[in-house]
Structure 1
Amino acid sequence: MRMIYLVLAHEGRPQLDALVERLAPAGGLDMVIVHADRRSDLWRSLREDPPPDTQRVEVIQNPVSVRWGHWSLQSAIILLIERAMEFEFDYAHLVSGSDWPVVSRQEIVRELDASQIPLCYIEAEFGREEERMQRFHIDA
């Protein structure tokens, strides 16, 4: 079973590097695709010093500037999904760069295999909340 992890990251290169190693250790089939906020120091760090193993870790090369709760977050997710669709995989997981798995990969696979129906943990509905988000934001 091949997993692709779609990571939305804004800061913390050491945390991101550790997360990548946890999610997709070297020698495995799994892959991580990272979208780093275009305005962040993390994006500059990834541009100057990209992950060396491009078979396992890929960074979106033209990221967007993300404002939390704004349509730009959806744009970043769309970039991740579009890139992931260019690969073969069984499951994609959308996570934050500050997340950390609470169970092992083996436990995740066991739960997925035991499911009688296809599992989807993300509700994806185009345009949902879009109108409201055009009028509402918090900058601080």
Structure 2
Amino acid sequence: MKNLRVAAVLLVLLTVMGACVPFPLFVGGASGGAVYSSTSDHIEDVFNISKEQAFETIIGLVAKDDGQIKVSSITEGKIQAGIGKTLLYVNITPIDDMTIKVSFRAKKHIELIPDKEASVRYYRAFVKEVMK
């Protein structure tokens, strides 16, 4: 607690004496934003289905929305698709013979802005198809 108080006093003194915000605040703010944006569009879950079934289901969901498959590799478990202005990235990682981890990530506007809504939409559609 004492260290925190000393750090706060030093920060105030540096701000007053330097007439500007200290560099660590910019660095801390920038790194915090980067962490948020890299995780805000990511959803993953574990399913008891085969890798092939998951792959076919996701390809079907993209085709249903008139999306364009840009990369698809069942051996690597990767699918990249463009649906409108959204880029969807799906990774399928096998845990054992009939259990997989599926990860959905979406970006919009030339891969700069996370698209959480698209990630959630495709995750829910995937769950709905798998649970039929």
Query: TM-score scaled to structure 2, two decimals?
Result: 0.24
Flag the structure with higher strand content.
Answer: 2
Structure with the higher helix share, 1 or 2: 2
Q: Compare relative contact order (CA 8 Å, sep 6+) and give the higher one, 1 or 2.
A: 1
TM-score for the superposition, normalised by structure 1: 0.23
